[in-house]
Amino acid sequence: MNEEESENNMQEDAEIIEETSSEPAQLFVKEKSEETQFQKPSFKHKFKEFIVECRRVLKVTKKPSRAEFKTIVKISGVGILIIGLIGFVIHFAKELLF
């Protein structure tokens, strides 16, 4: 990906974020005389908000390049090996000591 394509992608991402974050979340308000009390949102509203947030996240995300993917795989593999090695050392030490 050259610099021009990278710049275009960054501009598109910024536009998506601006479009999706322009309106603040609305609160459910039930007026009771002069006092204002908050009402618990319904399951339907919560589900709808969840779907809206999922769409917003999916619009912002992008598919990683081959180099990014290889880096992620390498780092994840090293992490798994380190955790496995720590587990092995603990198990081996337990067998020797007990």
Q: Mean pLDDT score of the chain, rounded to an integer?
A: 80
Alpha carbon distance 6, 16 (integer Å):
15
Of the candidates 78, 75, 50, the residue with the CA atom closest to the CA atom of residue 64: 75
Alpha carbon distance 49, 73 (integer Å):
33
Q: Tell me, what DSSP letter sits at residue 21?
A: T
Express each pLDDT in 23-57 by its tens digit: 555 555 555 554 556 788 888 999 999 999 999 99
With 0.85 as the threshold, say if the pTM is over it. no
Instruction: Report CA-CA distances (Å) from 35 to 26, 29, 31, 41.
Output: 18, 10, 6, 19
Output the six-digit token pair for 81. Answer: 């090996």
